Amino acid sequence: MTGATGLLGRHLVRALRRRGDELVSDPADADVVFHLAARTTVPAAREDPVGTFEANVALAWRVLSAAPRSVFASSDQVYGPRPPVMPIPETAPLDPGGPYAASKAAADMLARQLPGVVVARLVNLYGPGDRHESRLVPGTIAAVRAGRAPVIRGTGRSARDLLYVEDAVAALLALAEGGEAGEAYNVGTGEAHTVRSVVDTILRVAGSDLEPEVRGEVAEGEGGRRAVDTAKIRAAVGWTATTPLEEGLRATWEAGGR
């Protein structure tokens, strides 16, 4: 596995250990490789597009080409900020905007040319242990815990498909066992939640009367609506998301950063 220290990686490691699986460091020695390592934030990718290419494309090629079977963590951002169809099917064209999305799209296309690779196009993940406060859920939770008004950078009307991390772990394990090599599968809930509704839900589960600070300036890549069609993964391996947004946000809040 790569990316074992990230949000998804830490939860996946725990799940593999609970099953009694042995974790190894050399991709050539593994039965299945989960390639999760990447530069994952849009601002960092804009600041260093060459480094982002190395982290998200070149590294993916080196890891995936060395493994007999792999699950590669791609992103729904490969479809671009304003996809023509909602929810987005895997047949939609890849139309990335910006260095981060372009790097994930390039790695996604390359990965599907390699033998034994299954691609998981993951939506925005959230859950206990996410310390990236530039992201919506951990940033809002950190603000509320500190007694500060959570900041909504845009208008709050842009919407994303948000998936609880444990549901994402279950999807990756199912794809490792039953996904078809060379195919890409959307991994999400199929529902788009507005930024404002997510912030309001966190405030509600936290029992807070704080009011969000709405700045109204939509940053590049943060507007529009996006949710993915999950019919393909459901038909292939029987996976579907099971954690409602409020339940997942409550569990994240109650975990207290763990």
Mean pLDDT confidence for 22-47: 89
Q: Please give the pLDDT value at position 9.
A: 97
d(CA 154, CA 217): 5
Q: Please give the pLDDT value at position 7.
A: 96
Q: Please give the pLDDT value at position 223.
A: 66
Mean pLDDT confidence for 62-86: 94
CB 96 within 8 A of CB 102: yes
Q: Please give the pLDDT value at position 52.
A: 94
Mean pLDDT confidence for 67-81: 95
Torsion of CA 65, 69, 75, 78, to 10 degrees: 60
Q: Please give the pLDDT value at position 28.
A: 85
Q: Please give the pLDDT value at position 16.
A: 97
Cα dist. 249→23, 127, 129, 154, 204 in Å?
30, 7, 12, 21, 10
Confidence class for position 221, pLDDT limits 50, 70, 90: low
Q: Please give the pLDDT value at position 177.
A: 97
Q: What is the pLDDT of residues 36-69, one digit of tens each?
A: 999 888 888 889 999 999 999 999 999 999 999 9
The structural domains of the chain, ordered by start, are: 7-255 (3.40.50.720)
Global pTM reads 0.95
Q: Please give the pLDDT value at position 220.
A: 58
Q: How many CB atoms lie within 10 A of CB 210?
A: 16
Q: Please give the pLDDT value at position 171.
A: 98
Q: What is the pLDDT of residues 143-196, one digit of tens each?
A: 999 999 999 988 999 999 999 999 999 999 999 999 999 999 999 999 999 999
CB 83 within 8 A of CB 92: yes
Q: Please give the pLDDT value at position 3.
A: 94
- Across the chain, what does the average pLDDT equal? 94
Helices (H), 67-130: 98-111
d(CA 10, CA 145): 23
